[in-house]
Every structure is written in structure tokens, then in C-alpha cells.
A and B are shown apart, each in its own frame.
Chain A
Amino acid sequence: MTADLPPLLEARNIHKRFGDLVALEDVSFRLEPGSFHVLLGENGAGKSTLVKCIMGFYQADSGSISVGQREVSIRSPKDAQRLGIGMVYQHFTLVENMTVAENLVLARAHVPHVVQWKDELDAIETFMRGMPFQVPIRRRVRQLAAGEKQKLEILKQLYLGSRVVILDEPTSVLTPHEADEVLAMLRDMAHEGKVSIAMITHRFREVTEFADAVTVLRRGKRVGGGRSAEFTPEDLATLMVGSKLPETRLDRSPNPTPTAVPTLEIEDLTALDDIGLPVLNGLTLQVRPGEIVGIAGVSGNGQDQLVEVLAGQRSATGGRLRVRGGAYRPTRRQIYECKVRLLPEAPLVNACVSNMSVAENLAFRVFDRHPYTRLKWALSRSALRKNARARIRDYKIKTPSPDTPIGALSGGNVQRAVLARELSDEVSLLIAANPCFGLDFAAVAEVRSRIVLARNAGTAVLLISADLDEIFALADRIVVMSKGRLVYETPTERADLNEIGRHMAGHH
């Protein structure tokens, strides 16, 4: 340890309300110099609000913040930067189309009128040499992998001279391997006394394996904390959700026979992304009736584009698609005839028209057919409403009336409405892309059980998810997607997490 430790950061008795919502209630947090401290909690527990109060985005209603034993008033992130406190955000704040060096120089409080690039590059290279990890400084940020971008965000804080670095879910965009690497480096730098680290997360493993201390928040209150060595993952889970973890694996009928004719066959599929670069590079996959195939992978490896091609939102540049043995082009007619259904992430944006009523949204798949449309043009409002009432009842959608605009419903109820629309008829192929993203516990359980029910009824399910736990809970077979290809396949019961992580990271 060096004598020149980072300052002690302390937040005492912080209260913060937004209107009627109490976001933080008497929360205290103490970040010891040179330690790695985790803030643990579910979505909406108040972790982000707490660090935003420290960073000066919000002003606490009451309570105090002190840096190095001195009480301070932090009015903006600039004040925080002056005190040596920097933050790495969940979404990258880098400018994609500029180089690493340009991003670093621009982040400084004072950029010279004329930038002497030779001197700057020399200085940045010297700085990089003293760091535990490197990023190629002349490359454009858009060419960096997600892990490198995350490292660059951290390096940027160190380059700016921050001694206290706050990170908001830094590992959510990383592969397990990259996450371990970054976390180990952060821990080592903290233990060398270079920085203090405060990290927001909801993964217990990161607490037990890397952190020195932990603070658990639930519904705006501090519900526990202390030295992380004193907690088991079960303790943390209990504190975090207020009960034991729910049972993950769901009841299911036996696995399908491998000889059945595949419902979906994808052969050598290729496609380009928005800037014309290859993003799917010869993807081949089969999904059989009564089977859930889970595609795991770090986001940005072509998953979005695969869903878009299957949904008809992007044209493929090569390869073949077959559904139930016949050639498949995702036109409205073929989607209907082949009984293909889609559960996208962010359903309000991707599967609904927010200003149209619940009844209208529930009828998007069928409104142009009998009995909703008569004589090819006359839409029957009463048939739509009748259909909507049945779906609202069956799927327990909480809505004031069938005529309410769907945008007024909560996230869980919007996803229930989409489930009702997509799953209430016979379905041969269901494509689900991060179907539980941003939903609460109850809605997640509902969505997952509906997917398993569909599978048990003989639907072929293609599940694309950034959440490995979700894939393990649902899939019969796991495939790993990397750089637009499927690089690894395993039945779920024999799946090895390390092996999957290695392939997700592109080490294969």
C-alpha cells in the first residue's frame, strides 16, 4: 500500500423522493480508501439514485456527503470530477466514430485550441503503459469489442485523475470471461491503493468473488451489508428479494424425438448490418417441434439482426429459410400460414402501437380476416372487442377497458397482451428475443411458464437471450452465437458454464 490513498467517501442518511415515490430512505454508504465495494439490489431498489446523488445528478432531500472527512456539496458531475470522483455509466458515453485517443483528449476539462497529436499520443501511450490493461489508442471506438469499450470507459476515468470510480453494472455487456478479467483488475488496482471502487450490480457471484464490502438495498432502504466474506450467495439473495430465490426450472413434458421433421431450418444465413458490414456469416440451425433452443451470446454478435431477418424486418443476403419443410419468406401471408409468432424485447416499441387500443393491438395478427373483417373491407369493432375481452380474461391483462391505449399499461401487462396475441392460437414456431427484459418477478414467471406451455403443446421455440440464467431455465438445447455464427452447441443438462463462456468470448 502507498501512503497516498484515495479519499474516504461517505454518504450519510440520504433521503430522496420523486413526487410520491420514495426512492431513498435514510441510506448510508461508506467507501473505505482502496476498497472494492458492491451496491447490490434489484431493479428499482435505489442503487442508481444513490450514486446519482453522490455524482451530483440529483440533490438529496436530506443527508450529507463527505469526501476525505470534509463535508462537500456536489451540484453537478463536474463538481464530482473536481473532487476526483468519476463514474462509468451502464451505457457507453464514448463517441463511436472517433478514435480512442480523441475520446480521451475530449473528456478532459480543458482541451487545447490546437491539439498537438504527436505529444498527446506520446502522453497517452505512456499513461497506457502504466495501466494493467491496454486499448489500441489509434483505433475508432466503433471497431472495439464491448469489453474493450468498457475497459476504455474505466481507463478514461483514470486518465482524468479520478481516485474514486463508481461503476453502474459494468459487466452487463461483457462475456463471463471478460467480466472476470475486468473485475480482477479493478480489485487489484483498489488493493494497490490507486483507486476506490464502488460498483452497482445484481449478480451475487461478483460480490462473493471480487468485492471487499457489500451494501444491499431493497425498495429504497439499506437492508444489510458489511464485509462480503461474511455473506453467502443465499444470504444476499434473501436480503435482495426479501425471500428465498424462486424455483427456476419449470415442469415440462419429455424432450422431443430427434427424428421429428424440424419446424425451423436455417441454412447458411447471411445478412448485413445498418452500415453494410456482414453481421450474419453463414448461420445454420434447426429447431424441432416441442423443443426450446436457446441462443446465448454477448449482445451485438448478430442476435438482433437474426430476429429481424426471421421477422421480415431485414432482408437476408444469402442462405435458406424453411418452416415445416417448405421454403419460407417472412411476408404477412407466410407468417400467418406457417403460424410463426414473435415475442420481441421491449414489446411496447417492437410489437405494439402505443396510441392504439388494447383491443386493436390484440388483433394485429388477425384483424384482416374473418370474423374481424367482413366482405374484405368492413372491420367489425364488436368482434375485435369480443376477442379482446376473452384474451384479457385468459391472460389476466390488467387494463381499465379494451379501448384503453396500450401505452397506458404497465410493462408487464403490455407483455401479457403480446403473449395473448401471439400464443392464443396454435403456434408452430415461436421466436422469443429477451422476452423478460425489464419485467418484474411476477411477469417474468408468467412469460416463462407460457413459453414452456407452448413448447409442451408442440411449438418449436427459438429463444434469444442475453441472460444466461434465462436460457438455462428454459432451453432444451443451448447454442452459442459469436460473430454472426453458431459456434457451440450442447444439451442443457450437460451444459458447462465455463465452456459456454469461453465460446461466448470468441475463444474457440
Chain B
Amino acid sequence: MDVETATSLGVWGLPLAIVGGMLRVSPPFLFVSLGECVTEKAGRVNLGLEGNLVMGAMVGYGLSYLTGSAWLGVLAAAFVGALLGALHGWLCGRPRVNDIAVGIALMLLGVGLAFFLGKGLIQPTAPRLPSFSLGFWSGRPQVVSALTIDLLFLIGVGLAPLLGWAFNHTRYGLVLRVVGESADAARAMGYDVNRVRLWATVFGGALAGVGGSFLSLYYPGSWNEGLSSGQGLMAVALVIFARWDPVRCLYASLLFGGASALGPALQSVGFTSGYYLFNAAPYALTLIIMVWSNSADKTSAEMPAELSIMR
């Protein structure tokens, strides 16, 4: 948001800037954390979603540029994310393979591959995702522009309760939870644990790819190597914070988005000292949440029992 936008609004400038920033920054958190939530519900951790995110951003931008359609870019990003997820799921299905180690390897692979293949995309401009404003009630152009959101974000907002419903009301959701809670019980019921986890990782990977496409196709809205600042990794922490509930993932994403917007928002009202410190807010938040939620004496009761990160 522009500096004059916020200053001209007086006291309301700062909260408006934070809300506006939140709406732009939180969608990648939202998609990655929803994806990770599905994967972890099945009892597996995919730390490689940062790689999916960056690959999704690059491929989404490239396809959008080549075809002229931002939505085709989003689809391509989902497809590439699903492929990386399938690779993770397949590798972890081999005997004695650790999902954490595979995740870190795939994160490095995804990021490296995206930088290598995306070299040519730094210059051109691709079509962006359509957007509209929630500020139509206000006559002030600053409010209208701050409250602009895009359709993809709305899809994510709708997806969160849909996933929550599916976990409890569909066969797929129930089977996913059984696999995540007790592999033995799932096998006794005749389900193929590895196959369920593979699909959960593919689905999670695809959502992370979509989250990446948001970065390059909406906000900041271009492709460069500094596009993601670890959102994919932070989203994993966010799932723990949200205690494996998709709707709480949505709230947590908004909170993280708001924290990320704190630095720029303060800058926009003319508060410039400690700028880098406030930019570190999401990272500090990650750290605090990890310490708070992972203390040895209170492992969360909602945690899927099969998660290897906790064993």
C-alpha cells in the first residue's frame, strides 16, 4: 500500500494497512497450511512444501505468461505441486525412509529447480489474477484499494470449512484420520496406509503449488528469486499452532499474514525505526508458537498419533 494512502487516514491508517496487508499476505500461508493439514492428518509430515510453493510460483507465472490466462497458471502450479507431493509420498512409502529428511531434500530440490528454470521469467510481465474490493461501501479510494482481494483467496477461505466438514462427514476424511491416528487399526480395516498417505501428500502438494501461484500472479505479482521468504516452512509450524483443524488454519494464516504486514504498515504511517525488527515479527511468532505448543509435558491431544515428528 502507498505511504500517502495510510497517512491521509489518520488514526485508522495503521489498522487499515495491517488488514490490507493481511488480505494480501495470508493466502500463501492459507493454502500451504491447508495442504500440510491434510498431509499431517494422514500421519505424515511434508517439510518440502516450501519447494512446492516456489515451483508453483515459477510455473504458474510461466504458464500465465505463455497462455495469457492466470487461471491456467494456477492449474499448472497445482499440477506441479501435486507431482512434487507424489514424489515425496512415493519416497516415504519405501521401507526405512524418513519423511522429515525427504521433505528437506525436496524443499532444496524444488527451490533450486525453480530458480534454474525460472531464469528467463524475471523480465516479462504475466497477466495477473482478477480481483475486486470489499471496500465498495466506502467513498475513500484508499479504503477501496486496501480492501482489495482476489478470487483465489476466497476459494481458500471456502476450502477451510469444506475440509473440516470432509474430515468428519466423508469416507475419505474418516479413512484419512484413521491412517493418521493408527496405522495398525487402518491395516486391520483393510486400508492401504501408504496409498492413503500418498494421496494425502499429493493433495497437500497441489494446494501448496496453488499457494505459490498466488505469490507470482497476485501479490507481490511477479517472479523473482526472493519471492518466498520461507512461507512454506512457516505454514508447517502454523498447522501445529492450528492443532490440525482447517478452520483454525484459516485464522492462524490471517494472524501470520497480519504479523507479516506489521513492518510495511508501520512504515506506511511514517514509523521507520526498527523496520527490520518488525519485519521479523512472523519469524518471532513462529519461534514462540513452536516453543509454546511443543513443550514436553503437553503434547497436543488433537495431534495425529502417527506423526513421526513427535515420536
A113 touches B178 (CB 8 A): no
Interface centre among B184, B185, B190, B302 (most CB of A within 10 A): B185
How many Å from the CB of A308 to the closest CB on chain B? 13
A-B residue pair count with CB separations less than 8 angstroms: 60
A95 touches B170 (CB 8 A): no
A residues near B96, Cβ cutoff 8 Å: none
Provide the bound-state CA to CA distance between A98 and B167, in Å: 11
Q: Which of A102, A105, A106, A276 contacts B297 (CB 8 A)?
A: A276
How many Å from the CB of A271 to the closest CB on chain B? 9
Provide the bound-state CA to CA distance between A102 and B168, in Å: 9
A115 touches B178 (CB 8 A): no
A111 touches B298 (CB 8 A): no
Asked if A272 is at the interface (CB within 8 A of a chain B CB), the reply is yes
Asked if A94 is at the interface (CB within 8 A of a chain B CB), the reply is yes
How many Å from the CB of A122 to the closest CB on chain B? 16
How many Å from the CB of B36 to the closest CB on chain A? 19
Provide the bound-state CA to CA distance between A95 and B175, in Å: 11
Asked if B299 is at the interface (CB within 8 A of a chain A CB), the reply is yes
Q: Which of B177, B297, B301 contacts A95 (CB 8 A)?
A: B177
Q: Which of A98, A112, A275 contacts B299 (CB 8 A)?
A: A275
Q: CB-CB contacts of A93-114 with B at 8 A, as 1s and 0s?
A: 1111110001001110001111
A95 touches B299 (CB 8 A): no
CB interface residues, B 266-300, toward A, < 8 Å: 297-300
A residues near B175, Cβ cutoff 8 Å: 106, 111
Given contacts A98-B181, A106-B189, A117-B169, contact A111 B299 (CB under 8 A): no
A114 touches B169 (CB 8 A): yes
Asked if B174 is at the interface (CB within 8 A of a chain A CB), the reply is yes
B297 touches A115 (CB 8 A): no
A residues near B224, Cβ cutoff 8 Å: none
How many B residues have CB within 8 A of the partner chain? 24
Provide the bound-state CA to CA distance between A107 and B185, in Å: 10
A93 touches B300 (CB 8 A): no
Q: Which residue of A lies closest to B177 (CB)?
A: A98
B300 touches A275 (CB 8 A): yes
Asked if B171 is at the interface (CB within 8 A of a chain A CB), the reply is yes
How many Å from the CB of A278 to the closest CB on chain B? 11
How many Å from the CB of A272 to the closest CB on chain B? 6
A96 touches B174 (CB 8 A): no
Asked if A20 is at the interface (CB within 8 A of a chain B CB), the reply is no
How many Å from the CB of A116 to the closest CB on chain B? 8
B residues near A275, Cβ cutoff 8 Å: 298-301
Asked if A274 is at the interface (CB within 8 A of a chain B CB), the reply is yes
A95 touches B169 (CB 8 A): no
B174 touches A111 (CB 8 A): yes
Provide the bound-state CA to CA distance between A77 and B189, in Å: 10
A276 touches B298 (CB 8 A): yes
Given contacts A95-B178, A106-B178, contact A113 B189 (CB under 8 A): no
Asked if A78 is at the interface (CB within 8 A of a chain B CB), the reply is yes
Q: Which residue of A lies closest to B165 (CB)?
A: A114
Q: Which residue of A lies closest to B295 (CB)?
A: A276
A residues near B304, Cβ cutoff 8 Å: 97
Q: Which residue of B lies closest to A97 (CB)?
A: B181
B residues near A102, Cβ cutoff 8 Å: 174
How many Å from the CB of B241 to the closest CB on chain A? 17
How many Å from the CB of A349 to the closest CB on chain B? 15
A residues near B182, Cβ cutoff 8 Å: 95-96
Provide the bound-state CA to CA distance between A508 and B170, in Å: 43
Q: Which residue of A lies closest to B302 (CB)?
A: A97
A residues near B171, Cβ cutoff 8 Å: 111-115
Q: Which residue of B lies closest to A140 (CB)?
A: B301
B residues near A142, Cβ cutoff 8 Å: 301
Q: Which of B168, B184, B305 contacts A93 (CB 8 A)?
A: B184
CB interface residues, A 313-360, toward B, < 8 Å: 315
B residues near A106, Cβ cutoff 8 Å: 174-175, 178, 189
B residues near A117, Cβ cutoff 8 Å: 168-169
How many Å from the CB of B244 to the closest CB on chain A? 10
CB interface residues, B 146-174, toward A, < 8 Å: 168-172, 174
Provide the bound-state CA to CA distance between A105 and B178, in Å: 12
Provide the bound-state CA to CA distance between A112 and B172, in Å: 10
Provide the bound-state CA to CA distance between A102 and B299, in Å: 23
Asked if B188 is at the interface (CB within 8 A of a chain A CB), the reply is yes
Provide the bound-state CA to CA distance between A117 and B170, in Å: 10
Provide the bound-state CA to CA distance between A96 and B180, in Å: 11
A95 touches B185 (CB 8 A): yes
A115 touches B170 (CB 8 A): yes
Q: Which of A78, A94, A96, A113 contacts B190 (CB 8 A)?
A: A78
B299 touches A94 (CB 8 A): no
Q: Kindly list 8 other residue pairs between chains A and B, CB separation below 8 angstroms, not including A96-B182, A113-B170.
A: A77-B188, A93-B184, A97-B305, A98-B177, A114-B169, A142-B301, A272-B297, A275-B298
* Interchain Cβ contacts under 8 Å between A and B, 26 examples: A77-B188, A78-B190, A93-B185, A95-B182, A96-B305, A97-B177, A97-B304, A97-B305, A98-B174, A98-B177, A98-B178, A102-B174, A106-B189, A111-B171, A111-B174, A114-B169, A115-B170, A115-B171, A117-B168, A117-B169, A275-B298, A275-B299, A275-B301, A276-B298, A276-B301, A315-B297
**Closest 6 pairs (CB-CB, A-B):** A276-B298, A111-B171, A95-B181, A275-B301, A97-B181, A95-B185
By a beta-carbon cutoff of 8 Å, the part of chain B in contact with chain A is 168-172, 174-175, 177-178, 181-182, 184-185, 188-190, 297-302, 304-305
